[in-house]
Chain A
Amino acid sequence: MKRPRRSSTAGLSLLELLLAAALLAILLQKGISLMQQTARQTNEESAAVLLEERAQLVLERIARAVMGSDRDTLIPDHAEPLSTDDIEYRIHLGVQDGEVVWSDPEAIGLEDVDNSVFWMRMPEDAPEQRVTWTNLVRPFLEGELPNGMDDNGNGLIDEKGLSFTVDRNAVTIRLSLDRLTSDGRQITSTVETTVTCRNLSEEDLDT
């Protein structure tokens, strides 16, 4: 008697089905967990990169303003360990009829109220113009606490999230931005650069 041929459409037993389902569930769970973790890290990474990019952009704007400014007009004039969170200056616009033309007074600083970096132009005979470059500034520079000490070891005391220090014709600009990610974690980006005022008078050579 021939053994009946097992049909190709024979199904799985319940045990096999449960085993397969369990394995599938475990694999899927691991896979989903991994993807979630990676997605979260990527989001954080993206946020951090975007934050750093924003910080670099603001820093570059400030740096260009300082480079084009007249050293004589740059106020205030704080050397380490003191720093300031705003500067006022004038930039060189060109020469007209043999006379050097300077811009209206401009200022860049930290607005404490909303932790924003602002740029302002203050013409004599017109309303002042004001632009906010970012509102993600930390109240104090990364690692710094308002305790009268240099907590982050950069030589400054209680420096704000945007700080300027001046050494002769060079200005060091420090900026810390922070933000919260979608899952509530805080990311911080701190950037720093030093630039010199290119518009000097002969007296500035001796400062």
Chain B
Amino acid sequence: MEVVVSLPIVLVAAMILLTTFTAIYRQRSLTRENARVVEAMRSRFEAMRNEPFENIVRLYNADPMDDPGGPGTAPGERFPVNGVQPRPDTPDGGVGRIRLPIMNAAEEGELPVWELREDLVDAQLGFPRDIDGNGLVDEADHSFDYRILPILLEAEWQGELGPRTFRMFTVMTDFRL
């Protein structure tokens, strides 16, 4: 009788151990995913730093027509992360996205006109704010005369436990050498 009672207890204990192992495995997968995403984001920040400051916006926005090296030559706003799967609902299948203070200034129904705007409302980027050094927030396009650039990197992917997101933020400026 005791054996009959004890066996399920032992089995339950084994199941608990098994569950613990599974949870541990999943936790490690999460942290591995995080590490890969963070490393990809760091590399992306550093790649941006490797470019002339005045070209960063045109290289990493979504507009291929303003690429400094010619249309379509720039890396653009999307970037992959090795070992991490994009979400199935991501439009272009990318995991990482570079978010700049850019807005579409075109009228409805027209082709998009992307402008770097101080009057953009984006709390995560810290906007609206001045970025051309005159102390004022205006409605002009500052794609060519910005002096400081907040940048937010976002990653969305399909993780072991479901959809996940991650963000990294920095601000770049052009130090005088």
Contacts and interface: CB of A to CB of B under 8 A. Distances in A.
Direct contact of A and B (CB under 8 A): yes
Interface string A161-195: 00000011110100000000000000000011111
A201 B14 contact: no
A41 interface: yes
Interface string B17-45: 11001001100100110010001001100
Interface stretch (B47-55, B67-75, B87-95, B96-104): B47-55
A116 interface: no
A205 interface: yes
Given A24-B3, A193-B43, A34 B50 contact: no
Contacts of B25: 41-42, 45
A45 B28 contact: yes
| Chain A binding surface, main DSSP class | helix
Contacts, number: 60
Interface string A27-56: 100010011001001100100010010001
Contact of B18 (A24, A38, A56, A202): A38
Nearest to B52: A205
Interface residues of B, number: 23
A31 B7 CA distance: 11
B21 A38 contact: yes
Contact of A169 (B17, B24, B28, B50): B50
B120 to A, nearest CB: 27
B125 to A, nearest CB: 22
A71 to B, nearest CB: 11
A196 B21 contact: no
Contacts of A38: 17-18, 21
Interface residues of A, number: 29
B123 to A, nearest CB: 29
A66 B39 CA distance: 16
A56 B21 CA distance: 24
Contacts of B35: 52, 56
Contacts of B5: none
Contacts of B14: 31, 34-35
B171 interface: no
Nearest to A20: B3
Contact of B39 (A193, A201, A202, A205): A193
Interface of A: 20, 24, 27, 31, 34-35, 38, 41-42, 45, 49, 52, 56, 167-170, 172, 191-196, 200-202, 204-205
Pairs A-B, 6 closest by C-beta atoms = A170-B50, A194-B43, A202-B177, A196-B49, A38-B21, A194-B46
Interface of B: 3, 7, 10-11, 14, 17-18, 21, 24-25, 28, 31-32, 35, 39, 42-43, 46-47, 49-50, 52, 177
